[in-house]
Structure 1
Amino acid sequence: MRPRRAGRLAATATLLALVTAPLAATGAGAAADPVIDVGARPLGVAFSADGSQAFVANNDDSTLSVIDPATATVLATIPTSPLPFGVTTSPGAPTLVYASTTGAGPTIPSVDLIDPATASVTRLTGPLGNPSGVAADASFVYATNATGQFTRWPTGGGAAQGCELQTPTRGVVLVGTTAYVTQNALNSVAVIDTTTFACPPVAPAIPVGTGPWGIAYNPVRGEVYVVNATSATVSVISTTTNTVVETLPIGPGGRTVAVSPDGDRVYVTETDGLLLVLNRADPALGGTAVVGAGSEGVAASSDGVHVYVTNATDGTVTPFTRPTVTAPADASVAPDTAVTFSVTPAGDVTGLQWERSDDGGATWTPIPGATGTDYSLTATLADDGAQFRAVASSIVFAGAVSGVAALAVAAPPVPPTPAPSPSPTSPTLAVTGSTSGSLALLAAGLVAVGALLVPLAARRRPAR
């Protein structure tokens, strides 16, 4: 197609129906996908390292739900020790799941090492009070405790090592050889060197907001995010300086936090049934998405396709799936012909916007009012070479852009003009000298002129 100059849309196309199939917004008022029913009071949630499975700790059921994100179905329900709380997974294959459990009755608190392939459970015990947060690297799994201990075990099981912080701890995240641990009563984050795993009487700590709870690391931006439940803020810690470099306001009831793989979005659960999305690349693109009642845990898959939120009151998981948009088909029409381009969006789509390019795709201009799944126009010759695409917006994910449809507009070929027919001429005959032949010619109205015959009328002279 020939590239066209930009800015010609208004002069070259007559709009028939900008929105023939309106798109309902989903991310700002409802979940993009149907909820997944799990056990009673789901709290912690985590994905496997490759994103192929998700795991949910059901606190009141004392079970672990294994979910297939591709189909949003529960594959298995594995019994755990009493009252599982937090959950994390091993950083590589094979996938192992670690769930902190607070215990009940004669069963003491533990961290359950669960092999989802065999449904086997190994209880890791040691100096534990009331474990909540868990994190794992290639060598150890770590657990925080409400009674102040910070404990770790070899990832495959073994003897525990304890580190006494002397204050209740909640969340934990690992950054290289450093563990960042939220200290709820001290309104701070302890910084622990995991190479020595020695907790001094007063561990180095970073002051944050009031009531720190969940914590997550953004490796793309080198930032640690701490959810301060009481002060309704998120503290942003630079891992370079170990200082708070920014404080972000959130709504009430903040709990846990996760980060998108590209580092652009920070997800914060609020217990009033909202997922807050903080966009680090462009704060104006942040927002909230409605989830279930008692929203608690949140996790993002490493492939960037899924975000899961547990809803403790509802006993469900709200899944969000990265948006996709099918490509519209090319069109080739005659001038003054109506043409419609169509797409089908899927996943967490909060809006759709058609765009047009008149310079071969170098620049794109939103088409005013074109926000439906179909876009129609009456094509003119000036539209020849124009390109069209649809952009799906999302709060939870980056937007999705469809493929490009090209429009060709050409007039039908003009048939060639036939050559004019030759004018008829009078017949001529050769004449011999026969008298009888001359009489026959006269009878036919012909007369001989030299060697030719011409009509007799042509020889008559006008009267004088």
Structure 2
Amino acid sequence: MYKPAIKFVVATLIASTLAATHSIAATAPKLPEVVGLVPINGSVFTTALNSKLNEIYAINSDNSKLYIIDGKTDKLKGQPFDLGSVVNGIVYNSKTDQIIITGLIDGKLQVIDRKTMQFVGAPVPLGLHPVNVVVDETTNTAFVSVMHSGYVAVVDLKKHVVKTKIKIGTGAPTPAGCDPWDSKKPCTTQGSNPLDMTFHQKTHKLYVAAYLENTVSVINTLANKVVGSRIPVGSQPNGFGFNQTTNRLYVNNWQDGTVSVIDGKTNKVIGKPIVVGSGLQKPAHCYEAGKLTACKSWGSMPLGPIGVNEATNQLYVASSNDGTLITIDGKTNKVAGPDVPVTTGFLVPAGCANFGACKKGSSAQNVIYNKATDKIYVVSLRDGWVMVLKSQGSKATHAH
């Protein structure tokens, strides 16, 4: 059970959300409603869905442990599993009943057998700072974005070897061997920084966000080659949502406070980016020069994967700085409101999650939508919990 203080906070959040929806006439589709909270009691960086077993996996970066949430009860099940290192990427392979993880610091991919919860096979060296991992279950192949090596590593999960490395954008930082996180090995250029990815099983297209080049690259996974031109999006793209029914891709632009929409057939951007939450930092990119006091407004900072409800054509975006969940109507590409609070509030001081100096509030990020249960799971980083929402809440709400 979670602590009384946390109970009070989530009760307040639920009450405030219900109050907002009570006051608005029921003239539009139902929107998300907070229904629960799962305490992890640590900084939750990464989550993943196991739709086969109705489980949600949450990684606590403070203690490097994997927590399993029962999707039926929305409570923790079993004991946390010790990963042994800081893990950033996680995905479940339903064909092999295995959990695939990537170590941010040790730079290795490892495989966990879900039945025994034991590591199987040898760790696979990937490169400098692997971030995200997706799996092509038909070929039992993992694709890993290796941020500071500037490529996507293609891993044969049966043989536990890297088959090839696909360069993204301009590739790795320079000079060779530099480390952007190590002052003793400074980099003169930052490279492309491949970050988040999403995979379309039917078209065999893998979309990769180049965080520092503001583009999305497309990989044909049958040939393991980049195809077409890089797709320009907003500033610092970091998370995807893919509606495979409409074949539209949604990209979080962290600095801009926007979401870009890409046509999966033409690989071209549709319309203008969608402004979410409090929008753009003012002045733009103010924190990047290291002058935090120059920031007048930190904006919304949409962060991590986007939840996709294909049945209703709705997208769910986490605004990290606002501490809210934002719903986008995929038909109109407009925000449907109001936004739902999923943390204890705005970051104080603003932007602090990026530097580990938060006093209160939290960073909302990493949205998962489970279509089998119609539930949304959103991480609240510094609050140390995973918020649970019902996608189609009990009250309908006006759209913006």
TM-score, normalised with respect to structure 2: 0.69
Q: Which of 94, 108, 111 matches 1:110?
A: 108
Aligned residue for 1:255?
Answer: 303
Aligned residue for 2:375?
Answer: 306
Aligned residue for 2:256?
Answer: 231
* Structure 1 residue 88 displacement after superposition: 2.0
Q: Distance in 2 between matches of 1:120 and 1:286?
A: 44
Q: Which of 274, 282, 291 matches 2:342?
A: 291
Aligned residue for 2:38?
Answer: 36
RMSD: 2.6
* Structure 1 residue 174 displacement after superposition: 0.9
1:159 aligns with 2:138: no
Percent sequence identity is 19
Q: Distance in 2 between matches of 1:243 and 1:220?
A: 17
Q: Distance in 2 between matches of 1:131 and 1:99?
A: 10
Q: Distance in 1 between matches of 2:167 and 2:84?
A: 24
Q: Distance in 1 between matches of 2:327 and 2:265?
A: 24
Q: Would the aligned equivalents of 2:40 and 2:384 in 1 still touch at CA under 8 Å?
A: yes
- Identify the range of structure 1 (301-310 vs 191-200) with the bigger mean alpha-carbon deviation: 191-200
- 1:333-372 CA-partner distances (Å, limit 9, x unpaired): xxxxxxxxxxxxxxx43x3xxxxxxxxxxxxxxxxxxxxx
- 1:44-77 CA-partner distances (Å, limit 9, x unpaired): 2121133611111222211111110111111131
Q: Distance in 2 between matches of 1:263 and 1:137?
A: 26
* Structure 1 residue 124 displacement after superposition: 3.9
* Structure 1 residue 312 displacement after superposition: 1.1
Runs of 5+ consecutive residues of structure 2 not aligned to the other structure: 1-13, 22-31, 172-191, 278-299, 344-361
* Structure 1 residue 216 displacement after superposition: 2.1
Q: Distance in 2 between matches of 1:115 and 1:262?
A: 32
- What amino acid is aligned across from residue 244 of structure 1 in structure 2? V
- What amino acid is aligned across from residue 300 of structure 1 in structure 2? Y
Task: Evaluate the alpha carbon distance shift between residue 320 and residue 301 of structure 1 in structure 2; reply closer, same or farther with a 3 A threshold.
Answer: same
Aligned residue for 2:349?
Answer: none
* Structure 1 residue 229 displacement after superposition: 0.5
Specify the SS of the correspondent of 1:35.
strand
Q: Distance in 2 between matches of 1:152 and 1:312?
A: 30
Task: Evaluate the alpha carbon distance shift between residue 168 and residue 311 of structure 1 in structure 2; reply closer, same or farther with a 3 A threshold.
Answer: same
Q: Distance in 2 between matches of 1:183 and 1:41?
A: 25
- What amino acid is aligned across from residue 275 of structure 2 in structure 1? P
- 1:203-248 CA-partner distances (Å, limit 9, x unpaired): 7310111111111211011101111111111110001110001321
Task: Evaluate the alpha carbon distance shift between residue 79 and residue 135 of structure 1 in structure 2; reply closer, same or farther with a 3 A threshold.
Answer: same
* Structure 1 residue 301 displacement after superposition: 0.9
**Which runs of 4 or more aligned residues in structure 1 lie more than 6 Å from their structure 2 counterparts after TM superposition?**
none
- What amino acid is aligned across from residue 185 of structure 1 in structure 2? L
Aligned residue for 2:315?
Answer: 266
Q: Residues 55-454 of structure 1: matches in 2 within 5 Å?
A: 55-76=57-78, 77-90=80-93, 92-103=94-105, 108-122=106-120, 124-138=123-137, 139=139, 140-147=141-148, 148-156=150-158, 158-161=160-163, 162-165=165-168, 166=171, 167-175=192-200, 176-199=203-226, 204-246=229-271, 247-251=273-277, 252-256=300-304, 257-262=306-311, 264-272=313-321, 273-281=323-331, 283=334, 285-292=336-343, 293-322=362-391, 348-349=393-394, 351=395, 393=396
- What amino acid is aligned across from residue 191 of structure 1 in structure 2? V
- What amino acid is aligned across from residue 179 of structure 1 in structure 2? L
* Structure 1 residue 302 displacement after superposition: 3.2
Q: Distance in 2 between matches of 1:275 and 1:24?
A: 16
User: Which structure would you say has the larger Rg?
Assistant: 1
- What amino acid is aligned across from residue 222 of structure 1 in structure 2? N
* Equivalent pairs, count: 301
Task: Evaluate the alpha carbon distance shift between residue 37 and residue 71 of structure 1 in structure 2; reply closer, same or farther with a 3 A threshold.
Answer: same
Q: Distance in 1 between matches of 2:270 and 2:251?
A: 12
Runs of 5+ consecutive residues of structure 1 not aligned to the other structure: 1-22, 324-347, 352-392, 397-464
- Identify the range of structure 1 (26-35 vs 291-300) with the bigger mean alpha-carbon deviation: 26-35
Specify the SS of the correspondent of 2:225.
coil
